[in-house]
């Protein structure tokens, strides 16, 4: 009989803890996962030696950040501003995005042969670390979003769908660019 009570308590505790945990599709969980992925790629970039590896990582970082900033700007930030009226936090995040976009464009135009390539990626890394800290800190955007009446599960679904759409578009664009390059080469012969 005592054993049955223990099982029931454990089941209840598990149910309570899983109910209080964010779902996989929760907006904040999705955005934090993006943060962790880009942080990992920045670390790999710092330890990479080969120019081709650095170029590959820089492309991944830039693409991921372009998609991430776009889904935040299109979906999460407007919902956050509407729900919280936290203009200062919202505006600071938008300005940080603008700075990152400019640096991303410079990185995409250059490569490992550019003397400033590594420096640009390092500065972007520092900018993103600051931005992530601002969003994730105790009284930051994500904490305030959780305290608001935002429907984070519905927003998470919207973010995931838009992210998939943008990533698919980027992949399609890359394939057609490569096909176009191949066609141009064949035409030039």
Q: Taking 70 as the threshold, does the pLDDT of residue 95 lie above it?
A: yes
Mean pLDDT of the chain: 84
Q: Which residues of 30-63 are buried (b: 16+ CB within 10 A; e: fewer)?
A: bbbebbeebeebbeebeebeeeeebbebbebbbb
**Which two tokens mark 68?**
């991430």
Q: What's the pTM? A: 0.78
Spell out the domains of the chain, with CATH numbers in brackets.
26-162 (1.20.120.520)
d(CA 189, CA 166): 35
Cβ neighbours around 83 below 10 Å, total: 16
Residue 174: predicted pLDDT: 56
d(CA 150, CA 102): 30
Q: Taking 80 as the threshold, does the pLDDT of residue 184 lie above it?
A: no
pLDDT one-digit tens code per residue, 139-171: 999 999 999 999 999 999 999 999 999 988 877
pLDDT band at 183 (very low <50, low <70, confident <90, very high): very low
pLDDT one-digit tens code per residue, 6-59: 444 333 333 333 333 445 679 999 999 999 999 999 999 999 999 999 999 999
Among 104-108, 137-141, 159-163, 181-185, the range scoring the smallest mean pLDDT is: 181-185
DSSP the chain: -HHHHHHHHHHHHHHHHHHHSPPTT-HHHHHHHHHHHHHHHHHHHHH--SHHHHHHHHHHHHHHHHHHHHHIIIIIHHHHHHHH--HHHHHHHHHHHHHHHHHHHHHHH--TTSTTHHHHHHHHHHHHHHHHHHHHSTTSHHHHHHHTT--HHHHHHHHHHHHHHHHHHHHHHHHHHHHHHHHHHHHH-
Q: 158 in helix, strand or coil? A: helix
């Amino acid at each position: 009989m005592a054993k049955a009570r223990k099982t029931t308590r454990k089941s209840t505790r598990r149910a309570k803890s899983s109910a209080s945990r964010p779902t996989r599709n929760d907006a904040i969980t999705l955005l934090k996962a993006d943060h962790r992925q880009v942080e990992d790629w920045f670390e790999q970039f710092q330890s990479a030696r080969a120019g081709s590896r650095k170029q590959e990582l820089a492309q991944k970082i830039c693409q991921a950040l372009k998609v991430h900033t776009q889904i935040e700007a299109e979906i999460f930030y407007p919902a956050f501003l509407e729900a919280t009226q936290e203009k200062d936090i919202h505006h600071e995040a938008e300005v940080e995005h603008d700075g990152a976009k400019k640096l991303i464009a410079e990185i995409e135009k250059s490569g490992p042969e550019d003397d400033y390539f590594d420096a640009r990626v390092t500065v972007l890394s520092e900018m993103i670390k600051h931005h992530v800290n601002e969003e994730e800190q105790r009284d930051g955007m994500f904490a305030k979003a959780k305290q608001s009446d935002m429907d984070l599960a519905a927003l998470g679904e919207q973010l995931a769908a838009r992210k998939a759409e943008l990533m698919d578009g980027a992949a399609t664009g890359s394939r057609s660019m490569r096909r176009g390059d191949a066609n141009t080469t064949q035409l030039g012969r």
